[in-house]
Structure 1
Amino acid sequence: MAISDDPSSTKKGKQSAAHHTSRGNTGAKVGIVLLGLVAVGLFSFFLFKLWQKKKREEQYARLLKLFEEDDELEVELGLRD
């Protein structure tokens, strides 16, 4: 009787192949999840920087408005005619 005719040896071969495939599949899933996390992190960073820029522009506009010359107010207060 030959070794290849032994039914237990073919089962082991199939189990080994299935185990190898599932391990590769798991690695691909982990890679996809990590890639997704990196993409979400980069997107969040981009949104944060955009928010900071908008906030800074708003503060600068308020600062300019604060030091803007308002002729009507000066006339009302009697500082200028």
Structure 2
Amino acid sequence: MARASSLSSMQPWVLVVLSAFLQLIPGLADDSSSSNSGTKAPSHSSSSSTRVVVLGLCLGMLALVGFAFVLFKIWQKKRREEQHARLLKLFEEDDDLEVELGIRD
């Protein structure tokens, strides 16, 4: 149920780009114009290879964005842990300093 609402709330340009990428996948595009002509269609090897290259580039970019996102989350977690350790160090009781100053035995 949440998936359907998230798809409808997407920006229109995202849907346009997504549909353009789906058109590049072999077998999904409507080739009715070539099938209606009475002549035999020429080999689509160059068109097919172009689609494969574009699909590979899209998948590569998606993998790159995913990798960058994971690295960002790891960096964020490490920074948060460092800040937490700094905060704990700031508020911990410093017994050694009290003993050195003679405040406590």
Displaced runs of 4+ in structure 1, greater than 6 A? none
Q: Secondary structure at the residue paired with 1:59?
A: helix
Higher helix share: 1
Aligned residues: CA RMSD: 1.7
Partners of 2:86 and 2:101 in 1: CA distance: 22
Q: Which residue, 52, 55, 79 being the options, matches 1:28?
A: 52
Residue 53 of structure 2 is aligned to residue 53 of structure 1: no
More RCO (CA 8 Å, sep 6+)? 2
- Residues 68-77 or 44-53, more deviating: 68-77
The equivalent residue for 2:64 is 40
Q: CA offsets, 1:56-77, max 9 Å, x none?
A: 0011001001111111112233
Q: Mapping of 1:60-71 within 5 angstroms? A: 60-71=84-95
Residue identity over aligned pairs, in percent, reads 60
- TM-score in terms of structure 1 length: 0.72
Q: CA offsets, 1:44-65, max 9 Å, x none?
A: 1001000000000011001001
Structure 1 gaps of 5+ residues are: 1-12
